[in-house]
Amino acid sequence: MEKNILHEVAQYAEEVLGSESFRYTCAVVANCKMLALELEMQANEGEPVPDLAALTIAAYLHDISTVTHGFHDHQYASAEMAAAYLRARHVPEQCIELVKQAILTHTIVATSDEERARLPIEGRILYDADKLGRLSGLAVVTSLIEFGMRHSHRVVTGDALAALLRHIEERFIDLYQSLNTAPAREMARDKFDRTLAFLDGVIEHLSDATPV
């Protein structure tokens, strides 16, 4: 594979996604590289290790269809767009297939070790890298902003806000527990613990009679 293909892929992703979405994509790429390195260092003999080139390309391209198709089932359109782009640049078919499978599986929530084992290692890493950014206090703020925009004319009581925060907390816990790899859970643990403590503190002090 040509050395400059990663640079070309990054440029293509930025052109398609725009600068704001591309910044998030770059964070996913960085998380993928860190997780891949940790897993490779920890791997026992016979355990799969990720193809870093294919993983990096998949990380850059995993959301490229969302601009025109939205996020619903975006993995299918993104995988096809990625494959077409890479074939036009004569990337080896073996790499293209790894990229496609990583993108296609990066939204799958595995509920058991057996299910995880059936997923490609690149897809498992990409899932974790994509979710790490959502395991922070910023994700809570984003959820509250989205709620406020949807219900801009509604008076929200402290009781209603506490119920919303409990729902966010449950989703937050489910997301953390869905992470595939030990390095991802380790990377997320500090932010996860601090965010849960924050949510618990706010919920505890909310009053039924407090309008917001």
Residue 165 is predicted with a pLDDT of 86
Buried b or exposed e, range 50-61, using 16+ CB within 10 angstroms: bbbbbbbbbbbb
Q: Could you give the count of Cα atoms lying within 13 Å of 93 in the half-sphere of its Cβ?
A: 0
Range of the domain at 73: 1-131
Which of the pair, 70 or 205, is modelled with greater confidence? Answer: 70
Q: Is the pLDDT of residue 212 over 50?
A: no
- 163 and 89 belong to one structural domain: no
Same domain (yes/no): 111, 196: no
| Of the residues 97, 131, 165, the one at which a domain ends | 131
Specify whether 77 is located in the same domain as 156.
no
pLDDT, tens digit (0-9, with 9 covering 90-100), for 147-192: 777 767 777 677 777 888 888 889 889 999 999 999 999 999 988 8
DSSP letter assigned to residue 137: H
Q: Do 68 and 157 share a domain, yes or no?
A: no
* pLDDT over threshold 50, residue 12: yes
Q: How confident is the model at residue 2 (pLDDT cuts 50, 70, 90)?
A: low
Domain with residue 74: its CATH number is 1.10.3210.10
34-48, 148-162, 166-180, 194-208: range with lowest mean pLDDT: 148-162
Q: Among 131, 156, 188, where does a domain finish?
A: 131
Look at 1-10, 28-37, 44-53, 153-162 and tell me which has the smallest mean pLDDT. Answer: 153-162
Q: Compute the average pLDDT of residues 91-99.
A: 97
Q: Mean pLDDT for the chain?
A: 88
Is 126 in the same domain as 139?
A: no
User: Domain check: are 118 and 20 in the same one?
Assistant: yes
**pLDDT score of 136 more than 90:** no
Q: Give the total number of structural domains in the chain.
A: 2
Question: Are 92 and 182 within one domain?
Answer: no
Q: Higher-confidence residue: 205 or 211?
A: 205
- CA–CA separation, 132 vs 185, rounded Å? 9
* Contact yes or no for 183/42 (Cβ under 8 A): yes
Choose the final residue of a domain: 80, 106, 131: 131
pLDDT at 205 over 90: no
Query: Sorting pLDDT into bands at 50, 70 and 90, what band is 71?
Result: confident
